[in-house]
Amino acid sequence: MALSRGLRCCQRVFSWIPVLIITSVVLWSYYAYVFELCLFTLTNALEKVAYLLVFHVCFVMFSWTYWKSIFTPPASPCKKFQLSYSDKQRYEMEERPDAQKQILVEIAKKLPIFSRAQSGAIRFCDRCQVLKPDRCHHCSVCETCVLKMDHHCPWVNNCVGFSNYKFFLLFLSYSMLYCVFIAATVFQYFLKFWVGDLPNGPAKFHVLFLMFVALMFFVSLMFLFGYHCWLVAKNRSTLEAFSAPVFVSGPDRNGFNVGILRNLQQVFGEDRRLWFIPVFTSQGNGHYFPLKNRSSESHNPLLANEDMWEESDDGSEEGSLVEDQDPSVTIEMEE
């Protein structure tokens, strides 16, 4: 037990290394740009002020979005998806697998669940003891089920999901803007140092490496950002892009695709003035997502009226379903 705890502690410590690497590179870029380039190399006062002003705007937005991506905790299923004490006791005391499955089927009747496991069964997490909402997956690193999980990103040491996906996208976009601005403003001085028009000194090293590092990060970020823009347009997560979500009718990669505008609004919200500001504006609560084929929702009075599925003041979900599910549906336990 002590050895296991020690290994987990070491894992948590080492998981911050990628974040420390990014932070160190960014802090060095701040010093190199502000001090070595603007204060020690530039001679035009107007150019110096303009560069510093725009640079700090980019730096603040980058830092803000990176902070939000790292320290926004991943959202987990609410209590409605967890087994109550009585249900858990009844489930554990029942020795027959079929009877256990029926107990979970009865619980699932009250929940807005449309996705299934690959076998067609309702998804159940044996570790967290919860019925998984649509698009929810268990993260082995965070050791919890994450709503609308996209992936676990080592560069932010956090799960990217419903609670911080907007912040992650803004982090990628402002990172690209940060790199583009540095490369564009450093380029002429990079050439001057390269051909010897400017005297050798500490600034030369910093300016040359600023150019290379900015271009290197921009290229890698460009492909990653483009991929996630495609995912948002299709309303897919990274996990769903590799493994299509399964519904009663079978696998469907476009099951949650409700059109580009509505897909964007699910992530960024309806108020376009807040799209580029790292404040949470995503629609819904992460437990329910509109389907491309809404005909199946009409069989469920709770899902047909999305307003009935809202969070109460204590964080629990209110409302229940009165329609019965197909009794032939089975439960599959997933880890």
Query: Phi and psi (nearest 5°) for 317?
Result: -90, 140
Beta bridge partners of 153: 158
Exactly one of 142, 153, 159, 229 is catalytic; which is it? 153
Q: Which of 205, 174, 162, 225 is nearest to 61 (CA)?
A: 174
DSSP SS3 for 139: strand
Q: How many helices (H) and strands (E) does the chain have?
A: 10, 9
Q: Residue 25 and residue 292: Cα distance in Å, rounded?
A: 43
Contact between 295 and 82 under an 8 Å Cβ cutoff? The reply is no
Q: Which of 63, 58, 61 is nearest to 33 (CA)?
A: 58
Give the number of other CB atoms < 10 A from CB of residue 166: 27
Residue 153 bears catalytic tag: yes
DSSP SS3 for 87: helix
Hey, what amino acid is at 112?
A: P
Both tokens of 92, joined, read 């554990």
Contact between 236 and 227 under an 8 Å Cβ cutoff? The reply is no
Q: Measuring CA to CA, how many Å separate 138 from each of 82, 155, 245, 291, 328?
A: 14, 19, 15, 22, 25
H or E, element range at 158: strand 158-160
Please identify every residue annotated as catalytic.
Answer: 153
